[in-house]
C-alpha cells in the first residue's frame, strides 16, 4: 500500500502521540521516509527513542523547532512533502506554573516552521502540506447539559496558557494560509490515552499510583468531563486524513467517549483492584486553576469527509493500557 506522501518531517515525534504516529506510518507503508526533529525534552523516555530507532526509513534529528537555522537546513536537505507538527509543551498544569515556554515552543516554534515553508526559495517547499496536531481545548469548555458539541465553527475560547498557545498556533496557520498560501491541515483532537503516555497525565497517574498503592489525586469534585480517544485510533485517523488528500481545512477528531474523571478513576481502579472500594484509593485535591469543565466533540465533518465512522472500544483499550503500564513500570527510568 502506498502513502500519499514520500518524505514526512515529523516534529516532536519522540513524544506520546508522535511516536505512535511514526510507528503506525512506517509499519504500514514502505514508500515513506520520516525525519523526526525533536528536542527530546523531559517528556521523552529513552525507550521511546530506542523503539523508534529500530524502525525502517527513520532518522532522528535532535533539536528545536524554534531553531531557525536547523529548521532551514533540515527542510532544505530533506525537502518534505508533508510536515506533521506534534512538537509542543503539552501539560496544562506546567503551563499554569510557567507559561513562557508554552508561548516559545507552541506559538513561536510553529511560526518558525510555517515561515520556513512559505518564505522558502525552494518552490517545492512552498507547496509542502503543514499538518498541525491541535487540541479540542482551544474551544474552552461547555456545560454538562449542553447539546451543542464543539464543531469546526465553534469560537475559540481557550482557558489555560496551554490551550491559548495552541489556539494561537491554529490562528497563525489559518492566517498564513490566507496571506501566504500555506497548505495546511489542522486536526483538533480530544484527550488521548494509551501506552507510553507520560506519567504526569491523568490516566497514567491513576494507573501508576494504584499500582504503587498510593492514593490517586482527583481535582475538585471529579465531575469534569473529557472526550477520550485511544492514541492508536488517533494515529490511524491522522494517517487517513493525510492519505485522503484533505487540506486547507480543520477537522475535529473524537470518538464520542465522554467520561467524568471520577468515573474514569473508578473504572480503572475497579479493574486493578476488583475487591477494594475505589473510594478508599482516591483523594480529592484542590481544583486546577481555570479548570475546563467539559470537552465534547462533534466529529461529523470528518466522518463525512472520510466516509467512515470514528468509533472506540474503550473497555478493551483501557485494559490494554493498564496491562502496558503493569509490564513497563520502568519505561521512564
CB of 38 to ligand NAD, least distance (A): 4
For the record, the C-alpha cell of 293 comes out as 469543565
Residue 261: partners with Cβ closer than 8 Å, 6 or more residues away: 202, 218, 219, 222, 223, 224, 225, 226
Among 8, 9, 185, 189, binds ligand NAD (CB under 6 A): 189
Among 39, 114, 129, 265, binds ligand NAD (CB under 6 A): 39
CB of 96 to ligand NAD, least distance (A): 15
Among 44, 202, 206, 318, binds ligand NAD (CB under 6 A): 44
d(CA 23, CA 221): 38
Q: Which among 91, 133, 107, 163 is positioned nearest to 231, based on CA atoms?
A: 133
Catalytic residue from among 81, 137, 258, 317: 137
d(CA 19, CA 12): 8
Residue with nearest beta carbon to ligand NAD: 15
d(CA 204, CA 216): 10
Question: Interaction with ligand NAD in 77-96: which residues (CB under 6 A)?
Answer: 86-88, 90
Among 41, 244, 270, 312, binds ligand NAD (CB under 6 A): 41
Positions of E strands within 244-333: 249-253, 258-260, 282-285
Structural contact between residues 172 and 322, judged by C-beta atoms closer than 8 angstroms: no
Active site residue 137: yes
Please identify, using beta-carbon distances, which residue of 14 and 255 lies nearer to ligand NAD: 14
CB of 322 to ligand NAD, least distance (A): 18
**Segment interacting with ligand NAD (CB under 6 A) among 60-68, 121-129, 172-180, 213-221:** 60-68
How many residues interact with ligand NAD (rule CB under 6 A)?
30
Structural contact between residues 228 and 190, judged by C-beta atoms closer than 8 angstroms: yes
For the record, the C-alpha cell of 111 comes out as 511560526
Distances (CA, A) of 170 to 64, 235, 301: 19, 20, 18
Please identify, using beta-carbon distances, which residue of 192 and 224 lies nearer to ligand NAD: 192
**Segment interacting with ligand NAD (CB under 6 A) among 33-41, 70-78, 111-119, 315-323:** 33-41
Look up cell 472526550; give the residue: 227
Question: Interaction with ligand NAD in 193-212: which residues (CB under 6 A)?
Answer: 198
Among 8, 9, 10, 12, binds ligand NAD (CB under 6 A): 12
The per-residue DSSP string of 172-237 comes to HHHHHHHHH--EEEEEEE-EEESTT--TTSHHHHHHHHHHTT-PEEEETTS--EEEEEEHHHHHHH
Active site residue 136: yes
Distances (CA, A) of 202 to 153, 305, 324: 29, 32, 16
Please identify, using beta-carbon distances, which residue of 95 and 281 lies nearer to ligand NAD: 95
**Segment interacting with ligand NAD (CB under 6 A) among 7-15, 239-247, 283-291, 297-305:** 7-15
Question: Interaction with ligand NAD in 239-268: which residues (CB under 6 A)?
Answer: none
Active site residue 68: no
For the record, the C-alpha cell of 50 comes out as 530506542
Catalytic residues: 136-137, 162
Interface residue list for ligand NAD (CB under 6 A): 11-12, 14-18, 37-41, 43-44, 64-66, 86-88, 90, 105, 109, 133, 135, 166, 189, 191-192, 198
Amino acid at each position: 500500500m502506498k502513502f500519499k506522501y514520500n518524505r514526512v518531517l515529523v516534529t516532536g515525534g519522540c513524544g506520546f502521540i508522535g511516536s505512535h504516529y511514526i510507528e503506525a506510518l512506517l509499519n504500514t507503508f514502505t514508500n515513506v521516509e520520516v525525519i523526526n526533529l525533536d528536542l527530546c525534552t523531559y517528556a521523552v523516555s529513552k525507550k521511546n527513542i530506542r523503539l523508534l530507532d529500530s524502525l525502517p526509513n527513520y532518522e532522528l534529528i535532535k533539536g528545536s523547532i524554534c531553531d531557525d537555522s536547523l529548521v532551514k537546513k533540515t527542510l532544505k536537505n530533506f525537502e518534505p512533502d508533508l510536515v506533521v507538527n506534534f512538537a509542543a509543551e503539552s501539560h496544562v498544569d506546567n503551563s499554569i506554573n510557567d507559561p513562557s515556554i508554552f508561548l516559545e515552543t507552541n506559538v513561536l516554534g510553529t511560526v518558525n516552521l510555517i515561515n520556513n515553508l512559505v518564505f522558502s526559495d525552494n518552490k517545492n517547499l512552498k507547496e509542502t502540506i503543514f499538518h498541525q496536531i491541535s487540541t479540542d481545548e482551544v474551544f474552552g469548555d461547555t456545560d454538562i447539559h449542553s447539546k451543542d458539541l464543539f464543531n469546526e465553527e465553534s469560537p475559540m475560547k481557550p482557558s489555560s496558557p496551554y490551550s491559548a498557545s495552541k489556539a494561537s498556533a491554529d490562528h497563525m496557520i489559518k492566517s498564513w494560509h490566507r496571506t501566504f498560501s500555506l497548505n495546511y491541515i489542522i486536526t483538533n483532537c480530544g484527550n488521548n490515552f494509551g501506552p507510553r503516555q507520560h506519567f504526569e497525565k491523568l490516566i497514567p497517574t491513576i494507573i501508576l499510583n494504584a499500582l504503587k498503592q498510593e492514593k490517586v489525586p482527583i481535582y475538585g469534585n471529579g465531575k469534569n468531563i473529557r472526550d477520550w480517544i485511544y492514541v492508536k485510533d488517533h494515529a490511524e485517523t491522522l494517517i487517513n486524513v493525510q492519505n485522503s488528500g484533505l487540506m486547507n481545512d480543520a477537522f475535529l477528531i473524537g470518538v464520542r467517549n465522554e467520561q467524568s474523571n471520577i468515573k474514569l478513576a473508578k473504572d480503572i481502579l475497579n479493574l486493578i483492584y476488583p475487591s477494594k472500594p475505589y473510594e478508599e484509593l482516591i483523594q480529592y485535591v484542590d481544583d486546577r486553576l481555570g479548570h475546563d469543565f467539559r470537552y465534547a466533540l462533534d466529529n461529523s465533518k470528518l466522518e463525512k469527509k472520510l466516509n467512515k465512522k470514528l468509533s472506540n472500544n474503550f473497555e478493551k483499550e483501557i485494559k490494554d493500557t493498564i496491562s502496558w503500564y503493569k509490564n513497563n513500570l520502568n519505561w521512564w527510568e
